[in-house]
Structure formats: C-alpha cells, structure tokens
Structure 1
Amino acid sequence: MKRAAAASGACVLALLLLLSPGRALAADASYRSLGTANNPDWMRRLPDATSLAALSLPGTHESMSVHGGSLTQTQEDFGDSGGTLTAQLRAGIRMVDIRLRVNAGNTLTVHHGATYQNANFDDVLTALGDFLHAHSGETVLMRLKQECTGELGSCTDATGQQSFPDIVDAYVTRRPGLFWGPSVHRAAAAATPTLGAVRGTAVLAVLHGTHGGPIEHYGLAQFADWHDGSSAYVQDEYTVPNVGAIATKRDQVRRFLDATSAGDRTRMYVNFGSGSSLFAQPQQVAGGAYGVQGVDPFLLTYLNEGPEVHTPVVRTGMLMLDFPGGGLIDKIISYN
C-alpha cells in the first residue's frame, strides 16, 4: 500500500513539474530574447575565400516550431508563415532546421511531429529568397527533414504523392538561383564551399529521411554519415529524460564545443543545444528550471569566460539552439 501511494505521489509530482515550467525561464541575454539581436549583414565583412567550415554560425533547432504547446514549441513566435524565420535571419541566424510533411498535391508543409506550424515550404523559401535578395552578402545553411513517421505523436504523409526528394526537386526548380546548385543535386554530394561561392544563396547541408538517414547524395559530402542523433561531426543527443539531466546535456554540448574549437578547421561541426522528453520540455532544457542551469545561459557564460577558467573557444561551429537570446547570438557571431 505504501509503495503504491509513493508511486502515485511520484506521478503527481512529475505531472506538476510538467505542467508548471518554473520561474527560472525568464528571458535574458542568452534565452528568449532573439529580437534584441540585429545582424542582417554580418557575413558581408568576411573574406570571400573563407571556408564555411571555418565559420561560427548561430542556428536554430526546429526553426519554425512555434505551435503545439510546451512540449512542441522550440522557438519564439514572431508570426506564422515566414514571420518567425525572417526574424531569425535578421537576428543573425545562419543555419536553419526545417521539418516537412508531404501533403496532397505534392506540396510540403512545416510540422513538428503531429503539429502543423502554420507555415508551408513555399513560405520558408519566400522568406529565404526575400532575405538573401536584400542581403546578398549572406548565405543560409539548411537542414531539411521529412518529418512524418506515421508513429504515435508524429504525422502521416498524404498517400498517392511523389517521393519526398522528387517533391523537393520540384520546389527547387520553381525557385531558380535560390539554392547553391551543387548542394541540391541528388547524384553527387558537394564539397564544402567558400563563402564567396555561396553568397546570396541557400546551401542545403543535408536532406534527411523520416528516421534521420541522408537521402541519396543531396547536400554536402561531409554529412553523408549524419544519421539520426550524433555522428562524427554532429552532436545531437536529443533525449533529456528529466530536468536533472540537463546538466548532462550541458556537458555534451561543452565537450563537443571544445572539440570543435580544437578540431580540423576544414571540417564542419554541428552542435545541438536542444533536447527534450516528457519530463524536460524544450524551454526547460534551453532556459533552465528548478535551480538547474539551462543550455543557453551556460553557453553564454562559457563563451565569455577567459583563459584563467578554461582554454578559450576560438570557433563554435554551428550551434543549433532552442529559444536563443540576442546576447548569445551576438557572441557566436563575434568569433568570426
């Protein structure tokens, strides 16, 4: 009887933790203040010969996910369609993570699991095209993923449609010049380009299937082994089982950040600061909760620390974040 009561109490406590994210989630320079950053042309001053691999890029995980509640939302809401993406690009975000569902009429809509994010792939491409036309010295890297697995909690693609890569090809064809050509050919992956080669265009880094495996040879050759989760140049330990485990996630991000800083500057590193589970919401992992420091404030502190504390970071690679603050975005850009 006592064991049953204790178990019941634990379930109630877990439910309360899930429903009340805690006061630690206030916005600051590291978290939920993207609108305070204004970096629409920060790449323009960099030499054309700079390899994309040498850059420190602020990025967003599930870049368009602003609907569905605390278990689904990963970014501040700056409007449906392309509004949220446009705000991120103006702030200085230069790698985005777009998840798509196949719909009737061979169209693609933006989803996070089962939740439609009130945006279509055309909205994404329009926002990108408008931004890059106005800021032609910039480039934006993109991870595209077929979101729907048909499993519980996910979405299901419409039946009777073309294959996902065929539909992506059709969108690319309708937007000539938007993408850097070598990155959107399925037959041969592209070498990592210089900034000068891709200014004014979007670069497809990888095209992922429903469970994370790369589709054919789209994107950059370096990411041929980027499957679901982590790989040689990707840290994406996305399961954070509870609030206490945020400390483990912080350490995974830190270790990979140190490896990036000391690593081969001809290689691109992608470091996901995001994570979640039923008992650790994306906002809690990013911003912290119940006395546990979140990934975003930890990163801003770590990047600001001098050599008397640890070996200074000299390159961040691509940091893929939930709810990044303006100060954190500015700090990542400063490494360039």
Structure 2
Amino acid sequence: MALLGLNTCAFADNWMSHLPDETYVAAVSIPGTHDSGTGNGFDGFLGETFARTQDISFGDQWKIGIRAFDLRPCTTKDGYLNINHGIVATKLRFDDALYQLRDSLIANPSEFVVIHLLHEDSGDNGDTPYETMLMELLQRDDLKDFFVDFRKDLKVSDMRGKMLILSRDKYASKPVGGFMSNWCGYIDWNQQTRGVITGAGTGAYSTGALYMQDFSDTHEEGAVDVKIGGIQKLLDYTTTHIPTSPVQIVWAYNFASAYCNGSISTSDGYRENASYTHAAILDYLKTHQAGPTGIILMDYVGVDESKGYATRGAELVDSIIANNFKYLEYETEESRINKAVYADLSTILKTLNREYSSASRKINSECPDVAADYTDELESIKACLDSIDAEVDSLYEHVLLTEDYTIDSEGLSAQISALVDEALKAQAEFEATGIDGIADEEENGACTYYSVSGKRLVAPREGQITIVKYSNGKVKKIIMPRKGK
C-alpha cells in the first residue's frame, strides 16, 4: 500500500484513525523517539555536544506521526519535574510534555500515545522526592482521565484519545499505566524475553510479557553489527507473531538508538549509529513479510540528514506507519460505518430468520390440518429475507453500507406473527367444524371452493381440506382423495 505519499502532516495527525478498532495495541507498529525531550534544546553547550538525540521539537515529533515517547524526568529545585538526558537538562518540562500530548489527543481523538518512563535520577536537584512529585502530576484533575491502565489485551478502541505510561521505576504500590520489570540492556535473547509489564488491576490480563532490545553502546569494533543483529532478531519474532487471542500477546520495545564514536555518548555518536540502524530497519521492512514491529524508539526522526549523517529519520517514520497497513486493514470513515452497519443489520436478520424458523415449525406442528395452506406465504417471507440478506452482503463487500440503509424489521416480524395467528385460528375452526368426507357430485347445486384460510380455489385440492360453499347456503368441509387411492 502506497502510504508514504499520504504521510503529510495532515495525515500524520490522525494516521491511527485508519487502524481497525479490534486490533491489539501490541500488534501495532508504533514509531517512537528516544530521549524525546532533547529536540527542544538545552541551555548550555554540553547538551548540544553530548546529549542531543533529536533535531525536531517534541511537538513536531507528534506532527510527523510519532506516537511513542521516551521521557526521563528528574526533580528540580524549583519544584517541577524536568526532562533530562542524563545530567543534562532539556528545555522541556515533564508537565508541559503531558499537556502537549493531552491537547494533541483532544484535537485528534483517534490517536493514542505510549510513554516509556524512566526516572533520570542522575539529574535530580530537588528536595521533594521524585515519587511524590510524579504522583501529584499524574493525579491532576485535568490529566488523570487521559491515562489508561495497562492490560496486555488492550485494543486500539480502548486506547483512542488516551496515554499509556509504562515505567521502568516502581514509584508507587500501583502504577498509573504499568510497571516494566526485568529490563535488559544487552544482547542476550534469554534475558531480553523475560520482561514483564504489570498493570494496576488484578485480572488475568493485568500482566503481560515484554520483549526488549536496548543495546545502547556500539562504539567498539563489531558492536554495530551486534546491535543490528539484535534489532533484526526481535523483528523476526514480532513480525511473525500477530496475536489473535490474549494468550498470544507479547509487547515489544525495539530501540534503534545507541551511540558510536567513543565510550562516552555524543550527539554525533547517536547520529552515526542512526545512519546504520535506520538503514538496516528500512531494508528489513522492504525485504521481509510485513508484520508488527512493536514500539521502535529512534534518534533523529523527521530528518533524513543531520550534520552530514544520513539518518533517514523521516523515511523510517513513514515506513513504520505504512507497515501497519501491509498486514492490517486500512480503515476509512466509510469502511468503519460500513462495518458497524453490517454488524447491526446482521443481528436484525438473524433475529428475523429465527422468528421465521420458529413460525414455520409452529405452523407445521400445531396446525397439521391447515399447514399446506400457508406454504406459499412462508416461502414468500423466506425469499424476502434471503433477498435482503444477499443485498446486505453485497453492499458490505463493496463498502457501500451507510446508516441510511434500514430493514423494516417491525413490519416483517408483524407479518410472521400474523401468519402464525391466522394458521392457529384456521386450525381451531377446522377442529370445531369437522370434516364431511369425500366430496359428492354437486347435488346441492352450484358451489365454490375455498382453502381453509379462505382463498378461492378453482377446484378441490387433492389430499387437502377444502371448504365447499353451495348456492343454497350450505357449507361443507371435505377432503378430495389423491388419485389412485
């Protein structure tokens, strides 16, 4: 699907609107940023040299389609939580980041956000404990309704308009979102697949499996290849595991980020690493069967070149978004309405067909002497239901169902009910008047013939009850024997 051409800012603002509601969040390919706040810049020279991992601001990251953010708060002497990269403070406060996301979700309610939260304790500079400040912020009246509790079976419909905070630190007895444990920052598949996410609930799905790849130091010889191998191995797993039930769900964090060029991280080291890992992921998505990537946290998103390094950060974000619609249905407002209307109409038709089947059984079992008189009416109703069913299926297949399409279910139901009442009445009349036997010659003069239900007949029906009305006013109920009997 050629989605890259669609990924303008306008499309990126609501690309999640095209995800099917019933998709598990763990099965969505979500582009994200590593150390998201660094795009807002720093006050001193240290950040620009050693701590920058993004060229575009936090707000602009949303605009290009980023929906997963890596936020690392620390305390300040001024009484607020700031986003840091290590000891280096960015120009982004944590509360400002959350309010920006809240406002973006209000403006684009089809979207949702996943936040990777890590206490950057090396930057703490305040007297109030981090845990106290964090809970005060997350419990604010103008924010708290935008957070969702973790469940491993969260669906897109559960998340729309919400934020899911997944913290690597346990800051309270119960999380706002979820706690991540058993984190692994090196390449060891057995350890990388031991992660757990725990929500605030107590149900069976309040905890879920977490796989991660977060190897962050690629400056030594061969380390970049190890990093790329780790990225690809996790992609090998996630892209071939599209869950169809909660027991199959595994959440995944795959970090493209790391630093080359020395044992100490530098901004250029992040750029160089991005030039390798981004190219590797782009190649993987082009050459492998499409499937979920999980959450990919990247450096230098939104720019394909940064300070001379070919980061391809805009191309990669577009590719991850587009990847979703290679294995998931691409929904539009029309297709969503089409699906919803079809579900409603299917329920109505199932009810009407059950009523028809019940009526047919009732007439045949409780009205044996007159049932034949109602065969045509029953067949007519069934043909009508089958015709509507076929039309609805055809319109659904061609995505043409709208909310204007309706079925006269009350009228059809009343017709079925009236037919049963008529048959029961005819059976009762038959049992009350009796049968006069085989029809004689018209000894009583001219006569006319009627079915038990009152239909005018040309002649008596063989083997069926016929009402005979003679010109002298006499009425008889007779049975005409079948030929040869």
**Alignment TM class, shorter chain as reference:** 0.7 to 0.9
- The Cα of 1:275 is off from its aligned counterpart by 0.8
For 2:105 and 2:139, locate their aligned partners in 1 and report how far apart those are by CA, in whole Å.
18
1:69 is the counterpart of 2:48: yes
Q: Structure 1 residues 60 and 202, CA, compared in 2 at 3 Å: closer, same or farther?
A: same
Aligned to 1:116: 89
Cα deviations by residue, 1:187-220 (Å, 9 ceiling, x for unpaired): xx6444111112111111x2233xxx78654265
Deviations 1:93-132 (CA, angstroms, capped at 9, x unpaired): 1110001111135410011011111111122012101211
Find the partner of 2:183 among 207, 227, 232.
Answer: 227
Residue 80 of structure 2 corresponds to which residue in structure 1? 107
Partner of 2:271: 283
Q: Distance in 2 between matches of 1:264 and 1:214?
A: 32
Contact 1:214 1:225 in 2 (8 A): no
1:195 aligns with 2:171: no
* Residue number in structure 2 paired with 1:165: 131
Deviations 1:216-248 (A, max 9, x none): 542656x64243526321111112133752222
2:168 aligned partner: 208
Distance 2:67 2:87 in 1: 26
Distance 1:203 1:242, change over 3 A: same
Distance 2:10 2:106 in 1: 20
> 2:102 matched to which residue of 1?
129
Q: Which moved more, 1:251-260 or 1:131-140?
A: 251-260
1:332 alignment counterpart: 320
Work out the CA distance in 1 between the residues paired with 2:238 and 2:10. 24
Q: How does 1:1-336 map to 2 (within 5 A)?
A: 39-66=12-39, 67=41, 68-76=47-55, 78=56, 84-149=57-122, 155-158=123-126, 160-161=127-128, 163-177=129-143, 180-183=146-149, 190-204=151-165, 206-209=166-169, 216-218=173-175, 224-227=180-183, 229=185, 231-232=192-193, 233-242=211-220, 244-263=222-241, 265=243, 266-276=249-259, 279=262, 281-287=269-275, 294-305=276-287, 311-324=288-301, 325-336=313-324
- For 2:115 and 2:145, the matched residues in 1 are separated by 10
Question: 1:296 Cα deviation (Å)?
Answer: 0.7
Given the superposition, is the C-alpha separation of residues 109 and 177 from structure 1 closer, same or farther in structure 2, using an over 3 Å criterion?
Answer: closer
Instruction: Indicate the structure with greater helix content.
Output: 2
- Counterpart of 1:252 in structure 2: which amino acid? G
Aligned to 1:27: none
> How many angstroms apart in 1 are the aligned matches of 2:273 and 2:155?
34
Task: State the alpha-carbon separation in 1 of the partners of residues 66 and 182 from structure 2.
Answer: 21
Distance 1:244 1:182 in 2: 41
Supply the AA of the counterpart residue of 2:252: Y
The normalised TM-score by structure 1 is 0.72
**Once the 2 structures are TM-superposed, how far is the Cα of residue 262 of structure 1 from its aligned partner?**
2.0
Number of aligned residue pairs: 270
* Structure (1 or 2) with the larger CA radius of gyration: 2
SS at match of 1:285: helix
Q: 1:121 to 1:98 in 2, by over 3 A?
A: same
Task: Answer whether contact 1:178 1:202 (CA < 8 A) is retained.
Answer: no
Structure with larger RCO (C-alpha < 8 A, sep 6+): 1
- For the residues of structure 1 that align with 2:261 and 2:171, how far apart are their CA atoms? 27
What is residue 419 of structure 2 aligned with on the other side? none
Superposed CA RMSD in Å reads 2.7
CA separation in 2, counterparts of 1:255 and 1:268?
15
| Residues in 1 aligned to 2:184 and 2:131: alpha-carbon distance in whole angstroms | 18
Q: Is there any run of 5+ residues in structure 2 with no aligned partner, and where? A: 1-6, 42-46, 187-191, 194-210, 244-248, 302-312, 325-485
Shift of 1:46: 1.7
Equivalents in 1 of 2:176, 2:138: separation in Å? 13
Report the CA distance shift for 1:283/1:90 in structure 2 as closer, same or farther (over 3 A): same
Instruction: Show CA shifts across 1:280-324 (max 9, x none).
Output: 71111001xxxxxx111221122112xxxxx42422111111113
Unaligned runs of 5+ in 1: 1-33, 79-83, 150-154, 184-188, 288-293, 306-310
- Structure 2 vs 1, CA of residues 157 and 299 (structure 1 numbering), >3 Å: closer, same or farther? same
Change (3 A) 1:37 1:59: farther
Query: Aligned with 1:319: secondary structure?
Result: strand
| Partner deviation per Cα, 1:34-79 (whole Å, 9 max, x = no partner) | 9989511011122222110110101111111234124311111x3x
Q: CA deviation at 1:165?
A: 2.7
